[in-house]
Each structure stands twice: as C-alpha cells, then as structure tokens.
C-alpha cells in the first residue's frame, strides 16, 4: 500500500489489497488530472477517508 495514504490502521489492514488494484491507480490519476485543470475535488486529499478514520473497522470487513 502507498505509504502516503492516510487511513486508520484497521481500515488499512482491511482495504490494503484494494489500493493495489489498477482501478485505484486510474482513479488517482484522474483526480490529479482534474486538479491540474483547475477543478475542485472534494473532499480534499487529506480528507478522502475521514469517515473511515472516525469509524474504525470492527472486523466485519474481510
């Protein structure tokens, strides 16, 4: 997993494999392109996973 992804540790463990899928790379590239074109992207980068930070995984995600 990309070490720059700020995400609560229990979610990192549960979702780590998803971040290695090609569609996540494509999504990241798309969002960066949008920003470079002057478009606003919400939520801001540091807040993408804020909801998950506030609700740690309780083991129901596999």
Write the pLDDT tens digit of every residue in 21-55: 999 889 989 999 999 999 999 888 778 888 888 88
More confident residue, 2 or 38: 38
Q: What is the pTM of this model?
A: 0.65
The residue whose two tokens read 């606003």 is 40
pLDDT at 57 over 90: no
What span, in angstroms and rounded, lies between the C-alpha atoms of 35 and 30? 9
- Name the residue ranges covered by the structural domains of the chain: 9-54
pLDDT at residue 61 greater than cutoff 60 = no
């Amino acid at each position: 997993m990309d070490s720059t992804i700020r995400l609560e540790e229990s979610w990192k463990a549960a979702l780590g494999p998803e971040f290695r899928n090609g569609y996540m790379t494509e999504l990241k590239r798309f969002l960066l392109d949008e920003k470079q074109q002057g478009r606003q992207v919400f939520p801001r980068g540091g807040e993408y996973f804020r909801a998950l930070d506030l609700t740690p995984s309780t083991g129901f995600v596999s």
